[in-house]
Amino acid sequence: MALLLVFASIIFIILAYKLYQRLRFKLPPGPRPWPIVGNLYDIKPVRFRCFAEWAQAYGPIISVWFGSTMNVIVSNTELAKQVLKENDQQLADRHRSRSAAKFSRDGQDLIWADYGPHYVKVRKVCTLELFTPRRLEALRPIREDEVTAMVESIFKDCTQNEGKSVVVKKYLGAVAFNNITRLAFGKRFENSVGVIDEQGQEFKAVVSNGLKLGASLAMAEHIPWLRWMFPLEEEAFAKHGARRDRLTRAIMEEHTLAREKSGSAKQHFVDALLTLQEKYDLSEDTIIGLLWDMITAGMDTTAITVEWAMAELIKNPRVQQKAQEELDRVIGSERVLTESDFSNLPYLQSVAKESLRLHPPTPLMLPHRANANVKIGGYDIPKGSNVHVNVWAIARDPAVWKDPLEFRPERFFEEDIDMKGHDYRLLPFGAGRRVCPGAQLGINLVTSMLGHLLHHFTWTPPESVKPEDIDMSENPGLVTYMRTPIQGVPIPRLPSQLYKRVAVDM
């Protein structure tokens, strides 16, 4: 009886608070929330599509309740600008789920840090030290090594099984994994025949265990007062954290020893952060957090982007052929592409951009949280709400794009549109204070992967699949993989000596 009374009082307090909020604030319109769960059970799995549909019904700014937390989703250029430019600072905090809070030690990293002195300091480390053009250039041999290793691997598979299709994602995932672990940790865990060493196995296990733990809490996440029914797997989290730290510390120690032995620091992020630790007063938690941020943010995003681009190119032979003509004209058939060629390959660059327009890998970016009451589009956004920008919907808005659903890279020749946060029609990397710090690195890797895939091979759909039947739907999730991984038949188009990996030891 007493328990029932407590339960009823909690519900009463929550409902009264909601009513008070509704009367006090002019909240954005949206689907009617249910008691306790809000709109959680109305949201379809592919969230950005569901929010875009709701925007059609309720307007370009909507409120959606995840349990007792208000989420605001904006879906047009003007409102994106209000969120990411005019009210940028007040909307620059992060919502940390319980797993994100655990993994980041309450925001001691960059991705999950609230806006404040710690964030500003760590962001400065990214801008002035990690992602400088000089360091990106110094790390370029790693990218070129990995991209040529991908070409070698596809060549081997397609010459052994002529005419057979391959699952493109398998090769892209390997490039993304090796590139990011080498860049961040200075380690290639995979040997030349594709075998992953013990430390690499441990690394992969930590990544997949982290994903599993993160996904296990969804319901309890949104209804804080119901959490006692879903006890946090404290022990599992503690074990996971300790395992991740043990692995990272071992790698950090290897780097410190190597530095002491050679007297010079390498360019990898781990070396950079350890040598800058004192200058920027970085705790060990922050260094470990930052290194893992790069893995979380930089691995899937690049592989996903290239997978969607390849699906579009297999679907659109006209665009594929035009990109190949440009590659043949600029590079020819006696050498392979390098990043120095990019400036002479405007069509290839537009293919990458058009793909990021139609298929941004994080269609709702990462949610921002309001650290003050703000007004967006004439509506109140109370402090503590989460704000999402539906960059997927904005990049398909017929009000600002001609034939928005058509994959047509030429559109960027007709109008040069920035995609790194200056033009609010195209925001695959976000904009403002929290814009992706890895944008240029991501663009370079994506363009290089695409360029090599197209220069070295002609791609056609598997024999039984017509281009128009390719499944272009998305998997649910924060990052948006294709629901059905794209398959293609690669046909080599260059002399066979150009399919060798250009390995570098760094």
**Closer by beta carbon to ligand HEM, 286 or else 305:** 305
Q: How far apart are CA 436 and CA 438, in angstroms?
A: 5
User: Can you read off the two tokens belonging to residue 35?
Assistant: 């008691």
Tell the smallest beta-carbon distance from residue 387 to ligand HEM (Å).
Answer: 10
By the rule CB under 6 A, 429 interacts with ligand HEM: yes
Q: Which helix (H) or strand (E) holds 296?
A: helix 284-298
Residue keyed to tokens 């004192």: 278
Tell the smallest beta-carbon distance from residue 153 to ligand HEM (Å).
Answer: 21
**Closer by beta carbon to ligand HEM, 69 or else 460:** 69
Please enumerate in sequence order all residues whose Cβ is within 8 A of that of 44, keeping only pairs 6 or more positions apart, or say none.
50
**Closer by beta carbon to ligand HEM, 64 or else 365:** 365
Tell the smallest beta-carbon distance from residue 280 to ligand HEM (Å).
Answer: 16
DSSP secondary structure string, 149-209? HHHHHHHHHHHHTTT--EEHHHHHHHHHHHHHHHHHHS---B-TTS-B-HHHHHHHHHHHH
Select from 4-12, 97-105, 407-415, 425-433 the region that touches ligand HEM (CB under 6 A): 425-433
Residue 482 backbone dihedrals phi, psi, to 5 degrees: -70, 145
By the rule CB under 6 A, 282 interacts with ligand HEM: no
Residue keyed to tokens 């040069």: 416
By the rule CB under 6 A, 437 interacts with ligand HEM: yes
Span 83-142, contacts to ligand HEM by CB under 6 A: 110-111
Strand runs labelled E in 82-175: 93-94, 166-167
Span 300-319, contacts to ligand HEM by CB under 6 A: 301-302, 305
Residue 154 Rama label (left phi>0; alpha psi -120 to 50; beta): alpha
Select from 207-215, 357-365, 406-414, 477-485 the region that touches ligand HEM (CB under 6 A): 357-365
- Beta strands 487-492 and 166-167: pairing type? antiparallel
Span 15-54, contacts to ligand HEM by CB under 6 A: none
By the rule CB under 6 A, 294 interacts with ligand HEM: yes
Span 443-462, contacts to ligand HEM by CB under 6 A: 446
Q: Are 64 and 55 in contact (CB under 8 A)?
A: no
**Closer by beta carbon to ligand HEM, 184 or else 252:** 184
User: Can you read off the two tokens belonging to residue 245?
Assistant: 């730290």
User: Can you read off the two tokens belonging to residue 116?
Assistant: 């404040």
Q: Is 436 annotated as a binding residue?
A: yes
**Closer by beta carbon to ligand HEM, 223 or else 354:** 354
By the rule CB under 6 A, 298 interacts with ligand HEM: yes
Residues making contact with ligand HEM (CB under 6 A): 110-111, 293-294, 297-298, 301-302, 305, 360-362, 365-366, 428-430, 434-438, 441-442, 446
Residues of the binding site: 436
